[in-house]
Structure 1
Amino acid sequence: MLDRATSEQAVFDALRAETQRLGFEHCAYGLRLAVPVSNPKVITLNDYPSSWQARYLEAGYLHIDPSVRHGRQSQSPLVWTDTMFASARQMWDEARDHGLRVGWAQSSLDGFGVGGMLTLSRSHEPLTARELLDKESAMRWLVQAAHLSLSRLMKPCYAVQPETPLTPRELEVLKWTADGKTAPDIGDILGISVPTVNFHIKNVVHKMKAANKTAAVVQALMSGLLN
């Protein structure tokens, strides 16, 4: 179902169905694009109570959420505990007031630098070691399936893509630039003049609407143009 979905909503509907099959009430998925590097785009989908969604946004809890911080540092799964939320006690108390008392989460990262995190939660029945043993392989599979499906659909909408496609020569010059080669180096490698190399780099920067060639390289790498 997930890999055949043709819209974000269809993926999330399938994700919710799997969430309930695994014995949880709610799910959330956050996708963090790698660009812009200084302020990466974050996209979230969840079926939490609307009052909690509003409170989480209003209070800026995304910036202090210990589970999000863990997900950015490690791809190891985590189970919600009082200890984990010790640094954000008010957030944890409010989450539980909204029925979000038991949770499991795991992050993922793909080759384009796009990160994601799946969270499964419910209001009762703490996760036991036995339940984790029985279900964690399916939960880990769901993390990867959700990431592949949602990034496939969402990344093209938000990743930086040139309005005018780069030519084969421009891509070639950009790849060597990404490898740290100078204009004279690239000229020698490709058998073209330095002014011609600089001409191609200037065109790439313009098409990518980048500040300079370094920014163009970063955008191209994160968008998969150089693969």
Structure 2
Amino acid sequence: MKILIIEDELALQENIKEFLESEQYLVETAVDFPTALDKAMNYSYDCILLDIMLPGGNGLDILRELQKTGKKHAVLILSAKDSVEDKVLGLEIGADDYLAKPFHFTELLARIKSIIRRNAQEGSRLISYQNIKLDPENRIVLVDSNPLTLNRKEFDLLYYFLLRPERLLEKTTLAEAVWGDHVDQADNLDFIYSQIKNIRRKLKDASARADIQAVYGVGYKLV
């Protein structure tokens, strides 16, 4: 799961980042309006944590741009401004939830999990496809009720596929989702092949009724 933190208070941004990384999230950051808008428009995230007051602009304008272009992100507004008007406006223009500063990190985590479930998992705690079940919060994968052992990147890749079954996913998209925004600067993406090869072998050994199919020159899809 990849999170974008848009926050200009550097100490708070770093504390949130460290906390979410300890919870096994992949975290990207932006400290000002131009950087935040560029990342929100050009990369994909499972959830964006959005401060309203930013150097160079207003966070709500990022929401407006996302809505205008049809770019879909789950968004949790984080702001010291706790007026009813700000909450209503943020929700009306596309935010999923609103959390006023200061907040406890445990509540932040609960809100993020809830938003992701609503947007990506249709409210369910488990993701199911054929005879595979994945529990993202406890990082457990079951095939016919038997546990499947995966390393962190294998789990994150399978999670990404299970949220998008039978959809062709480009290599760059997979790399950015699991390894971070700047992975597109890598000389090649051969490391994805080795991870997917391992997942396919483990799924086959577990008698999973699903496989990750390569589409030559483009990417992969779960079928």
Q: Larger relative CO (CA 8 A, sep 6+): 1 or 2? A: 1
Could you state the TM-score of these two structures normalised by the residue count of structure 1?
Answer: 0.24
When you count helix as a share of all residues, which structure comes out higher? 1
Query: Over alpha carbons, which structure has the higher Rg?
Result: 1
TM-score (norm 2): 0.25
The structure whose residues are more often strand, as a share, is: 2
